[in-house]
Amino acid sequence: MKKRITRFSLALAVATLTLAVGSAWAQDTPSNLTLHFDPAATTIRWTLKDVLHTVRGTFLLKSGLMTLDEKTGVAEGEIIVETASGESGNGARDHRMANDVLESAKYPEAIFHPQRVTGVVRDGKTQNVTVEGTFTIHGADHPLFLQVTTTQNGTTLTTKTSFDVPYVAWGMKDPSTLILRVGKTVQVDVDARAKLQ
């Protein structure tokens, strides 16, 4: 009888210790992930079609910081682009875009606020996730749903995504003239790199 009690006590002690260690491990393992985007390693390309040809250009990433709760998918942060940084290789066209369409002096930044991430990013693998958020441009907020391809290698995360900006429908000036008609939607392609913490 005494041996049975001793064995039971030992088993109970082991079980208690296991639960305690597991609880401590869960508390020491944070679920929050922080992404610091690298402007120098990020490319933002845009494409606008007109009746004669297709115009292509770039914008510069000013800064990008995003936090993600991996358990809930809730995200926060800001990814900021300088609207005056748009370049297409034509100075006069870029000047009109900044001053007349984007009104960069009044609205110097376009900002994406991530709010939720659906999907899992795993080290050493390429995954597709959905990022939901709000895109603020030209003084107005617009919901944005991004299909993002991610590849994680250690603490480095590379991402690719594309989305459309219907700039005329969003209240920006249509630069079309009687002679030259341009598209009313700009396609944006982003290749970004971030450090994970």
Instruction: Note whether 94 and 178 are same-domain residues.
Output: yes
Instruction: Note whether 88 and 145 are same-domain residues.
Output: yes
| Domain total of the chain | 2
Instruction: Note whether 62 and 143 are same-domain residues.
Output: yes
Instruction: Note whether 73 and 123 are same-domain residues.
Output: yes
Instruction: Note whether 4 and 99 are same-domain residues.
Output: no
Task: Please list the pLDDT of the chain residue by residue as tens digits (197 residues).
Answer: 544 444 444 443 333 333 333 333 333 345 789 999 999 999 999 999 877 789 999 999 999 999 999 999 999 999 999 999 999 999 999 999 999 999 999 999 999 999 999 998 889 999 999 999 999 999 999 999 999 999 999 999 999 999 999 999 999 999 887 667 889 999 999 999 999 98
Instruction: Note whether 20 and 94 are same-domain residues.
Output: no
State which residues form the domain around 172: 31-196
Instruction: Note whether 16 and 89 are same-domain residues.
Output: no
Instruction: Note whether 72 and 138 are same-domain residues.
Output: yes
Instruction: Note whether 100 and 18 are same-domain residues.
Output: no
Give pTM, 2 decimals.
0.82
Instruction: Note whether 12 and 72 are same-domain residues.
Output: no
CATH code at 129?
2.40.128.110
pLDDT digits (tens, 9 = 90+) for 4-56: 444 444 443 333 333 333 333 333 345 789 999 999 999 999 999 877 789 99
Instruction: Note whether 6 and 85 are same-domain residues.
Output: no
Instruction: Note whether 137 and 43 are same-domain residues.
Output: yes
- Rounded CA-CA distance 46/186 in Å is 7
Helix H, strand E, coil C: the string for the chain is CHHHHHHHHHHHHHHHHHHHHHHHHHHHCCCEEEEEECHHHCEEEEEEEECCCEEEEEEEEEEEEEEEECCCCEEEEEEEEEEEEEECCCHHHHHHHHHHHCCCCCCCEEEEEEEEEECCCCECCEEEEEEEEEEEECCEEEEEEEEEEEEEECCEEEEEEEEEECCCCCCCCCCCCCCCCECCCEEEEEEEEEEEC
